[in-house]
Amino acid sequence: MEIHLLRNATMRLRYAQHTLLADPDLAPRHARDSFTGRSRNPMVDLPLAKEAIVEGIEAVLVSHLHADHFDAEAQQLLPKDIPVFCQPTDAERIQGYGFRNVIPVDHVVEWQGVRITRVAGQHGFGADLASMGQVSGFVLAAAHEPTLYWVGDSVWYPDVAATIEQFQPSVIVTHSSGAIWEAGTPIVMDAQQTITLCQTATASTVVAIHLDSLDHGQVSRADLRMAASAAGISAAQLRIPNDGDVLSFEGSSAVASQ
């Protein structure tokens, strides 16, 4: 398995000999408005041309439809017959963008030898939940591949712990920028929540992304590494890739349970 981080939540995943694109945000730097007045978004350029990012993609995973997770550039550039896996509440809107092979994942779907399980997420706390809307994470499992749990835009809360307990993933991808919204509390994991996840999933490698890309993020890569080191979390357990980095993982696992 390979995780090629592009920017924010956008990843090229090489899994079970297939290439998938997760949460494609292909906009150029500063193409969208600021959330906080600190900077227009995205704050950084993509490490590759957008045409190179979509080249060879066989399917797309969309966790939810906020602009930094499936933007207009991606909607225009991706072929309209490509399989797009999404949460059921987003299927109609994605079809409205012209995509003809939208596959809502109610619970589990099987695709090309890969089991894709949609799991719950919570995009913040309290008053922010209504404005953030529903989000999902995904667990990927296949023969001779490590089980991957992509948490998505979620804070640490009991359902994330339950997913880890159920699937025992080898690799967990977290969104760890501590981004804030109107209530002023995190709408994705911050440093302490990421550390708590690492302390819970001691047998997993955690890959922290969604960092240094958007102006409402409160935690930088450097902040997260410093906090994790202070808490005794090793760089081997918590990996914090830069945009453009490719992480490789080996391992054989049974297909995750339903």
pLDDT at position 256: 35
Mean predicted confidence (pLDDT) in 172-196: 96
pLDDT of res. 252? 55
Residue 113 token pair: 């030898």
Answer yes or no: is pLDDT of 253 > 70. Answer: no
State residue 45's pLDDT score.
Answer: 98
Average pLDDT over residues 113-135: 94
> Is the per-residue pLDDT at 183 higher than 90?
no
What integer pLDDT is reported at residue 258 of this predicted model? 33
Task: Tell me the one-letter amino acid at 217.
Answer: G
- The pLDDT value recorded for residue 60 is 98
- Tokens at residue 176, please? 């760890």
Q: Cα separation of 131 and 47, whole Å? A: 31
**Quick one: which of 119, 136, 110 has its CA closest to 9?**
136
Give the model confidence (pLDDT) of 11-68 as tens digits. 999 999 999 999 999 999 999 999 999 999 999 999 999 999 999 999 999 999 999 9
**Predicted confidence (pLDDT) at residue 131 exceeds the cutoff of 70:** yes
**Could you give the CA distance from residue 137 to residue 228 in angstroms, rounded to a whole number?**
23
What count of Cα atoms within 13 Å lies in the side-chain half-sphere of residue 224?
31
Kindly report each contact of residues 87-91 with a partner whose C-beta sits within 8 Å and lies 24 or more positions away, as own/partner.
Answer: 87/62, 87/63, 87/118, 87/134, 87/135, 87/136, 89/134, 90/62, 90/64, 90/65
Rounded to the nearest integer, the mean pLDDT of the chain is: 95
